[in-house]
Structure 1
Amino acid sequence: MSTVYINSASCISVQDTLNENILQNLTPESSSNIIKAIEPNYKEFIPPAMIRRMSKTVKMSSVASHYALKEAGIEQPDAIIVGTGMGCSQDSEKFLKNVIDNHEEFLTPTFFIQSTHNTVAGQVALGLQCHAYNFTYVNTSSSLEFSLLDAQLQINDGEAENVLVGSTDEQTNRTMELYCLNNTIKKETDLPVDYLKSTTNGVVWGEGASFFVVGKNKTESTYAKLKNISISNKVELNEVQDFIQNFLTQNNLSAHDIDAVILGFSGDADSNVYYTKAMDVFPDSSLLYYKHLSGEFNTASGFSTFMACHILKEQQIPEIMMINSEKKESVKNILLYNHLAGNDHSLVLLEKA
């Protein structure tokens, strides 16, 4: 497939990523096991009457998509593609609570209608009055990667020139309680978290929304070239290095050509071993991690893609993200490697535009 360009990048996250000087103002979080996104003033973007009816993930996505389109200088995208792991779980919980509280009788359909995973893509399209291709991917931690792959195919097939691609996930009280009960989220006794050398299982859970405009042509606002994506539902620990090497070979690259590798170390001892294995492939690269800044969630790779875009555009690697001391004078190729609890592995290759 031919190269496409990431022409804008917008993110709402645990960090203050809507403001300027993002790389200089990153603050790690290790003392809490559930961390919430810093939300903007929604009244500046959404009519008050609509805000009341929107779940958090829809509100975050509406603002993040607004910033992404504005930065790319586009009013109407040729397609809207959104990836989400949990969808509008806030409204799902409200609907299920209504079912229980009302003994399955006299239910209002509003929460049910708004609980579907494709609500986000639909609401963004309604706000823009955009009748183009509209699709939602629900593939746990690979949801954004599938969305980017679809955007690349749309552009390569001549179906679109500019595609709005997003990823979004929100926290809800009941789901967080269940995650604590099944030890998905770290116990408070295991805090603070050492994301790189943790000996305990469980993660710090975050949330956020990241949106990008992927385009056929390079523009003044271009951040990076999206070169290639590889996704595998299952990779055994002894296959990790081959998984990465085969991907590099497909793209006519060696490990020495990769200037920086962004790994998804989450503080979960059982699944961190995949990233430790991957590090051995890159003795000369800058090794970076990011989930101490964003938390773990289904579409946390949206945050790493956003950070990679800024690193390529600004040619700066934040000290707070560095695992080793290797620092390149210029950054041309960045490889992103992510999975969730050892499943749904993805590789994304970005290149300086």
Structure 2
Amino acid sequence: MNAVYINNASCISVQDTLNENFFDHLTPENSVQVVKAIEPNYKEFIPAAMIRRMSKTVKMSSVASHYALKEAGIEQPDAIIAGTGMGCSQDSEKFLKNVIDNQEEFLTPTYFIQSTHNTVAGQIALGLQCHAYNFTYVNTSSSLEFSFLDAMLQINDGEAENVLVGSTDEQTERTMELYCLNNTIKKSEDLPFDFLNSKTDGVIWGEGSGFFVLGKEKTESSYAQLKDIQISNRLDLDEVQNFIGDFLAKNSLTYNDIDAVILGVSGDARSDIYYTKAMGLFTSSALLYYKHLSGEFNTASSFSTFAACHILRNQKIPEVMMINSVKKDGIKNVLLYNHLLGNDHSLVLLEKV
């Protein structure tokens, strides 16, 4: 494959990531079950009449994509690709509630129409009047990674030069209740906890939206080169070393060539053992984590990708993200390893430009 560059990045998250100096104000959270995204003033970006009809995930994505395209100086991308785990779940819940409340009669179709997972990519295209390739991936925690892969193929096949790629997920009241009941979310009595030494199951749930402009050519504003991606739906613990080692070998790298590894440590004792296994492979790398800043959710890897872009550009690692004390004079190769509660493992390799 030819080189593909992340030329621009934007993120709405639990942190104030729209702020240029967000790296200096990262605030960890380990004492609540659910953390909510810091939302911008939508009226600055979306007409008031439209805001009322938009779910949170559509609004977050509209603003995040606006920032990414504006910074890139691009009015019309050659493709729009979005990834999501839960889609527009707020409208899905509203529609299902109407079905029950109205005993399946006299239903208005609005909430159903707006509840489909491809609403986000569709709304962005409508706002831009963009008639180009438009696709949505729904692959739980690897939705963003599949979107990146598609964008890389579009660029390498000559179908596109600049692709808007993003991911988004929102919280809904009923879903959070169900996640508490099945112990996906940590029990209140287990809070607060130490992310790196958690003895209990469950996570803190978050939300957010991250968008990136991938390009064929490097620009002055480029953050990183997107080197490669690998995804595995299921992975046994004893397969972690081969999963990572084979991926690095494929890219002519060794463990020592990786300057920083960003791990999706979530505080879930059942599944964090995969990250513990991976840590042992990188004895000379800076080990980082991020879900104490973003919360866990299906597309939380958008936060780590956004953070990695800034780390590569600024050549600086925030103290609050560090697991070990290894510090590098220069940061060239960054490896992102993520999964959701032990499923859908993904590796993303970024390189300094």
Report the CA distance between 1:324 and its aligned residue: 0.2
User: Counterpart amino acid of 1:219?
Assistant: T
Distance in 1 (alpha carbons) for counterparts of 2:195 and 2:291: 8
Structure 1 stretches of 4+ with a deviation exceeding 4 A read: none
Residue in structure 2 matched with residue 164 of structure 1 by the alignment: 164
Matched, 1:351 2:347: no
What is the TM-score of this pair, normalised by structure 1? 1.00
Instruction: Establish whether residue 33 from structure 1 lines up as the match of residue 25 from structure 2.
Output: no
**Count of matched residue pairs:** 353
CA distance in 2, matches of 1:213, 1:194: 35
Say if 2:5 is the partner of 1:5: yes
- 1:208-227 → structure 2 map (5 Å cutoff): 208-227=208-227
Deviation at 1:98? 0.2
After superposition, the C-alpha distances for 1:46-83 in whole angstroms (9 at most, x for unaligned) are 00000000000000000000000001110000000000
Q: Map 1:307-346 to 2 at 5 A.
A: 307-346=307-346
SS in 2 for 1:75: coil
State the distance in 2 between where 1:306 and 1:327 align. Answer: 20
1:285 partner letter: S
What amino acid sits opposite 2:177 in the alignment?
E
**C-alpha separation in 1, matches of 2:122 and 2:186:** 34
Unaligned runs of 5+ in 2: none
1:129 is aligned to: 129
- Percent identity over the alignment is 80
- In 2, Cα distance between equivalents of 1:71 and 1:339: 30
How far did residue 193 of structure 1 move?
2.2
C-alpha distance in structure 1 between counterparts of 2:230 and 2:248, whole Å:
10
Please, what TM-score do these two structures have when normalized by structure 2? 1.00
Code of the residue aligned with 1:270 in structure 2: it is R
Paired letter, 2:64: A
How far apart in 2 are the matches of 1:168 and 1:238? 32
Corresponding residue for residue 175 of structure 1: 175
User: CA separation in 2, counterparts of 1:281 and 1:23?
Assistant: 27
Residue 193 (structure 1) aligns with: 193
Q: Structure 1 residue 194: deviation in Å?
A: 1.2
Residue 58 of structure 2: aligned partner = 58
Give the Cα separation in 2 of the matches to 1:63 and 1:78.
19
2:92 matched residue in structure 1: 92
Query: Which residue is equivalent to 1:299?
Result: 299
Establish whether residue 146 from structure 1 lines up as the match of residue 158 from structure 2.
no
Match of residue 71 from structure 1: 71
Task: For residues 274-305 of structure 1, give each alpha carbon's deviation from its aligned partner in whole angstroms, at most 9, with x where no partner exists.
Answer: 00000011000000000000000000000000
SS at match of 1:16: coil
3-state SS in 2 of match to 1:227:
strand
For 2:133 and 2:339, the matched residues in 1 are separated by 28
- Matched residue of 1:37: which SS? coil
SS at match of 2:111: helix
Which amino acid counterpart does residue 103 of structure 1 have in structure 2? Q
Alignment partners' CA distance in 2, 1:167 and 1:208: 8
Paired residue for 2:268?
Answer: 268
In 1, the alpha carbon distance for the partners of 2:137 and 2:239 equals 26
